[in-house]
Amino acid sequence: MEELDLSEKINKRIALIKDDVLSGKINLLELQLNPIFSEIKNSISIYNIENYSQSFKSAVELLNDKFEELKNLLSSLDIEKKFEDFLKTHPNEDQISDIFRGCWRETFHFEPISLKFLDYASNRYIKERITHFTIEHLTREETNDQFLLEVPKYKYTEKISAFYDKIKKKLPCFFEDVFDNELDQIEIYEQFVYLLHLLQLGKIKYQKDTNTLYI
């Protein structure tokens, strides 16, 4: 009479154990493998020996993995002891550095974020931050127009009309395109105020979805 074939059941059991070890659910060092080898021994026969080749191979792989885990554990314990003994000798910085020499991987080199570029960017940033700017206050001139920005030289209405004549040739255009040719921050600020006023008057319209100015 043929013996009961448990090879498929054992294969599934070993596969489940491997998955649990990889996921961290079980510790291979705490797992008893004797029951698996006993099942193989007790159920194998000359009639089903071919079916057990994979079962035996997988069981041996588990046993090898367990031995490797044990070797790593013993090695780590030994290293910790050696390192503790080393620290008790009160090593200097060079001796400690030698222990970790070769532990670090080579970093990749990418020109836009290279050390040379970052050093250059850092120095330029610091230089710009400590630059002293001279602040000159605008000359205040009285005007009959009720407006927050006091414009020197000539009236606000004349200046906003000149601005409107200048930009209407560009329209329709994106909001920021109105200030394309301006580099002076004061001029940009004044023109921005004029633009807001023209929007309020309805002489220029703004489409939020497309960020577009038009007449």
**pLDDT per residue over 34-49, tens digit each?**
889 888 888 888 888 8
**pLDDT per residue over 50-107, tens digit each?**
888 888 888 999 889 888 888 777 777 777 777 777 788 888 877 777 766 655 555 5
Q: What is the 3-state secondary structure (H, E, C) of 161-197?
A: HHHHHHHCCCCCEEHHHHHCCCCCHHHHHHHHHHHHH
**What pLDDT score does 29 carry?**
85
What is the rounded distance in angstroms from the CA atom of residue 12 to the CA atom of residue 77? 34
pTM of the predicted model, to two decimals? Answer: 0.35
Q: How far is CA 171 from the centre of its chain?
A: 41
Pairwise pLDDT comparison (210 vs 14), residue with the higher score: 14
Per mean pLDDT, which range of 23-32, 73-82, 162-171, 204-213 is the poorest? 73-82
**What pLDDT score does 2 carry?**
47
**pLDDT per residue over 141-182, tens digit each?**
555 555 445 545 457 788 888 888 888 888 888 888 887 777
Order of all β-strands in the sheet with 205-207: 173-174, 212-214, 205-207
Residue 110: pLDDT band (50, 70, 90) is low
How far separated are the first and last CA of the chain, in Å rounded?
Answer: 99
**What pLDDT score does 192 carry?**
85
User: Before 172, cis peptide (omega within 30)?
Assistant: yes
CA-wise closest residue to 53 among 5, 1, 100, 101: 5
Q: Is the pLDDT of residue 140 over 60?
A: no
Average pLDDT estimate for 126-132: 54
**What pLDDT score does 144 carry?**
57
